[in-house]
Amino acid sequence: MLRIAVRSLIHDRSRLLAALAGVAFAGLLTAVQSGLYEGFLYTTSSIVTRMGGDVWVTAKGVRVIDNMEPLSAGTRSTVLQHSCTVRARPLVLAFSWVRTREGSRENVRIVGTENGEPYMPWELARGLPTDLAAPMRVAVDELDLKRLGIHDGPIGDSLAIMNKRAYIGAVSRRARSFTLLPFIFASVDDARRMTQFSDGEVSAWVVDLRDPACASDVVRMIERNPELRAWRADELRVETQRFWMESSGAGAILGFSALMGLLVGGVIVGQTLYSAVRDHEPELATLRAIGASPWRVARFVGWQALFLTVVGGAAGIVAALGLGVLAARGGMEMIFSPAVILKSVLVLIGMASFASALSVRRVLAMEPAKVFR
Amino acid sequence: MSALVTGQGVRRSYEAGGASLEVVRGVDIELRAGELTLLMGPSGSGKTTLVSILAGLLRPSAGTVELLGTPLATVKERALAALRLAHVGFVFQRDNLFPALTALDNVAEVLALKGMPRRRALELARDALVRVGLGDRLGHVPAQLSGGQRQRVAIARALAPNPRVLFGDEVTAALDGTSARAVMELLRTFVTPETAAVIVTHDPRLERYADRVVTMEDGMLVADRRGIS
């Protein structure tokens, strides 16, 4: 039945091409929307992922990392009390602004961490983390140079950040916030100067533990201080993702686009399979008369659906991967993990199965005696 | 001669517009080994319905049918399909060949339905096509064949699995005189002391190939006589 199904499909080339285009379109949209969704989730919480740590400590009442109140320097002693704690890294994460040479004002996000390895949270395209050790040295992302008015030779060039002169010591790669505001990396002390933080203040403490299993105990101990909120790193990441996903409606928008693609693809595949069955009804009924079981004849639809899904879906997913590469160059984050690809394939299989249902029903209802009429 | 197919008191009615319409009305018939039977009669006389019932494609409303000794009333659909696959061949007015498949593959795919390995199926399909005179058309698709040639492929498809009983419906209706004669001669060669064929037709010229001619009118058998073959 495989040979009959596939050859019959290939025999009608215009119909085949239309169906493949439909599946490829559905595959492309599903994979792109899934990739964008994963990319969105990642960028909402990329600071948490990049900074690592086992426990994060913020002010009480903080819901997401993007809206943190300053913690005083004295909170560090509370954070370090537990014997399982190895260190507490300071993090300053705050909004600021840059006055470009052209005179425009660009909002930015300042990320202040302890200098040097391993605390520079992003990889560098140019320069070394130690290049940020000198006062008022910053790293800017390669995607944001133009936006910040830096056109060539960024290393050594200067920026006016909140009216304070800073010099570019390094260039980071693919550091994107979902708000699309440029990240500017600096030492904690310099970050305070470029924002409205006072001496010693931080946005959060990133705590490294000797054994991650003590995280719950450390969280409990820190939260005895009513001013503090302690999170396991995964918990803060998930909460941040959920907050932005729900409040921005991004999940619904991406899901709706993917659904549209699936509907279009499903209709095209369904129509193709159904008309193939209708056109080949005398031949299929002949097979039923000869003695093929209904489900065996239904494989005609199954093999055609599988062929369309595999060939069209592969084309769509490859196109999505290509689009992902192009999008990354433009600063858009699409993540095509094996899980995303697998999900897209499963969704396409589901779509094809759903689209096959009517055709399979028609085959199963076919009367073998029909060939005698 | 032994009966390969028997029908006793066969009736078949349909619901049409709220009324019951009986198209086969108490037919008793035997199809015996070694016979080519023509089933004739005017349109609407119930020929096609009767042959569908005898072939196990339709269930009768009343009466009994035995196909190769198996009472069909007691057989489930799946077993009935297996019985047809093993022992029954069909040729129709339209060839019903898959347009995308070559003549060879159209025949071989039916053999593959029986679970035959592909290589063996191709061998038998080739033999069957040579037998019907299409040895030089194995790789042709239906669009590259004439109407008569396509019907011969359909006959090869029916005969390749070596069925015991062959059912045909207006097999020459769409053919010119020469092709029709060639097709009937082929069907004639199928009938041996172990096999039987029944052909539904309107064409009295086919009587010269028949061992027996059965005539139906208004759902009943009205004549059963020897043919002139």
At B29-55, the pLDDT tens digits run: 888 888 889 888 888 888 888 888 888
Q: What is the mean pLDDT of residues A54-81?
A: 86
Query: Positive or negative, the Cα torsion across A175, A178, A184, A189?
Result: negative
Q: Which of A177-186, A288-297, B147-156 has the lowest mean pLDDT?
A: A288-297
Q: What is the mean pLDDT of residues A262-269?
A: 74
**Mean of all residue pLDDT scores within chain A:** 82
pLDDT at A119: 53
Residue A204: pLDDT band with limits 50, 70, 90: very high
Contact A8 B169 (CB under 8 A): no
Q: What is the mean pLDDT of residues B156-171?
A: 86
| Closest chain A residue to the Cα of B167, Cα to Cα | A372
Q: Across the beta sheet with B3-16, what order do the strands follow?
A: B19-32, B3-16, B62-67, B70-71
pLDDT surpassing 60 at residue A38: yes
Contact B113 A4 (CB under 8 A): no
Of the residues B50, B65, B70, B113, the best mutation for testing chain A's interface (the one with the most A CB atoms within 10 Å of its CB) is: B113
SS3 assignment for chain A: CHHHHHHHHHHCHHHHHHHHHHHHHHHHHHHHHHHHHHHHHHHHCHHHHHHCCCEEEEECCCCCHHHCCCECCCHHHHHCCCCCEEEEEEEEEEEEEEECCCCCEEEEEEEEECCCCCCCCCCEEECCHHHHCCCCEEEEEHHHCCCCCCCCCCCCCEEEECCEEEEEEEEECCCCCCCCCCEEEEEHHHHHHHCCCCCCCECEEEEEECCHHHHHHHHHHHCCCCCEEEEEHHHHHHHHHHHHHHHHCHHHHHHHHHHHHHHHHHHHHHHHHHHHHHHCHHHHHHHHHHCCCHHHHHHHHHHHHHHHHHHHHHHHHHHHHHHHHHHHHCCCCCCCCHHHHHHHHHHHHHHHHHHHHHHHHHHHCCCHHHHHC
Q: For chain B, what is the domain count?
A: 1
- Give the bridge partners for B21, in sequence order: B14
SS3 assignment for A100-165: CCCCCEEEEEEEEECCCCCCCCCCEEECCHHHHCCCCEEEEEHHHCCCCCCCCCCCCCEEEECCEE
Q: Quick one: what percent of chain B has pLDDT higher than 90?
A: 1
Cα A221 to the center of its chain, rounded Å: 34
Cβ count near B145 (within 10 Å): 18
Residue A116: pLDDT band with limits 50, 70, 90: low
Burial status of residue B123 (CB atoms within 10 A of its CB: 0-12, 13-18, 19 or more): middle
Q: List the 293-332 stretch of A: residues with Cβ below 8 A of B.
A: 293, 296
Tell me the per-residue pLDDT of A313-354, one tens digit each, with 9 for 90 and over: 889 889 988 888 888 777 777 888 888 788 888 887 887 787
pLDDT at A292: 76
Nearest CA among A220, A178, A192, A205 for reference residue A54: A205
| DSSP 8-state class, residue B228 | -
Give the pair of three-digit tokens for residue A69: 């109140």
pLDDT surpassing 60 at residue A91: yes
Helices assigned H by DSSP within chain B: 47-54, 77-87, 103-113, 118-131, 147-159, 177-190
Residue A120: pLDDT band with limits 50, 70, 90: low
Residue A55: pLDDT band with limits 50, 70, 90: very high
B202 within domain boundaries: yes
Of the residues B45, B67, B98, B107, the best mutation for testing chain A's interface (the one with the most A CB atoms within 10 Å of its CB) is: B98
**Are B121 and B108 within 8 A, CB to CB?**
yes
- Give the bridge partners for B121, in sequence order: none
pLDDT at A57: 92
pLDDT surpassing 70 at residue A371: no
Q: Quick one: what percent of chain A has pLDDT higher than 70?
A: 97
Contact B81 A286 (CB under 8 A): no
pLDDT surpassing 80 at residue B79: yes
Cis before residue A118, ω within 30 degrees of 0? yes
Tell me the per-residue pLDDT of B83-96, one tens digit each, with 9 for 90 and over: 888 888 888 877 78
Element (H, E) at B29: strand B19-32
pLDDT surpassing 80 at residue A293: no
pLDDT at B1: 62
CATH number, domain containing residue B215:
3.40.50.300
Give the pair of three-digit tokens for residue B30: 């035997």
CA distance B143 to B149: 10
**Are A290 and B84 within 8 A, CB to CB?**
yes
Q: What is the mean pLDDT of residues A149-167?
A: 84
Residue A209: pLDDT band with limits 50, 70, 90: very high
* Type of residue at B43: S
B218-229: b (≥16 Cβ within 10 Å) or e:
ebebeeeeebeb
Q: What is the mean pLDDT of residues A294-311?
A: 81
Nearest CA among A86, A101, A124, A36 for reference residue A337: A36
pLDDT surpassing 70 at residue A190: yes
| Closest chain A residue to the Cα of B44, Cα to Cα | A373
CA distance A43 to A331: 11
Contacts of B218 (CB under 8 A, 6+ apart): B25, B45, B46
| DSSP 8-state class, residue B9 | E
pLDDT at A249: 76
Which domain does B152 fall in, by range?
3-98+144-226
**Are A351 and A269 within 8 A, CB to CB?**
yes
Q: What is the mean pLDDT of residues B171-193?
A: 78
Strands B220-226 and B62-67: unpaired
Contact B81 A291 (CB under 8 A): yes
Q: Which of A70-84, A189-203, A277-291, B44-58 has the lowest mean pLDDT?
A: A277-291
Strands A164-172 and A228-232: unpaired
- Give the bridge partners for A158, in sequence order: A167
CA–CA distances in Å: residue A222 to residues A54, A79, A213, A230, B10: 13, 6, 16, 6, 90
Q: What is the mean pLDDT of residues A28-52?
A: 83
**Mean of all residue pLDDT scores within chain B:** 84
Residue indicated by tokens 């058309």:
B137
B25 within domain boundaries: yes
pLDDT surpassing 70 at residue A195: yes
Residue A210: pLDDT band with limits 50, 70, 90: very high
* Type of residue at B77: E
Please state the ipTM of this predicted complex: 0.72
Q: Give me the residue from B83, B100, B113 closest to A11, CB to CB.
A: B100
CA distance B153 to B128: 9
Q: Give me the residue from A10, A282, A367 closest to B96, CB to CB.
A: A282
Of the residues B75, B80, B88, B96, the best mutation for testing chain A's interface (the one with the most A CB atoms within 10 Å of its CB) is: B96
What is the least distance, in Å, from the CA of B133 to any CA of chain A? 23
State whether residue A21 sits within 8 Å of chain B by CB: no
Residue A206: pLDDT band with limits 50, 70, 90: very high
pLDDT surpassing 70 at residue A17: yes
Chain B positions touching A298 (Cβ under 8 A) are none
B51 within domain boundaries: yes
What is the least distance, in Å, from the CA of A282 to any CA of chain B? 6
State whether residue A286 sits within 8 Å of chain B by CB: yes
Q: Is the pTM of this model over 0.80?
A: no
Count of pairs with CB atoms under 8 A, one residue in A, one in B: 75
Residue B229: pLDDT band with limits 50, 70, 90: low
| Closest chain B residue to the Cα of A289, Cα to Cα | B57
Contact B57 A368 (CB under 8 A): yes
> Which residues of B lie inside 8 Å of A (Cβ-Cβ)?
48, 51-52, 55, 57-58, 78, 81-86, 88-90, 92, 94, 96-101, 105, 109-110, 113, 169, 200
Contact B84 A289 (CB under 8 A): yes
Residue that wins the pLDDT comparison between A272 and B103:
B103
B120 within domain boundaries: no
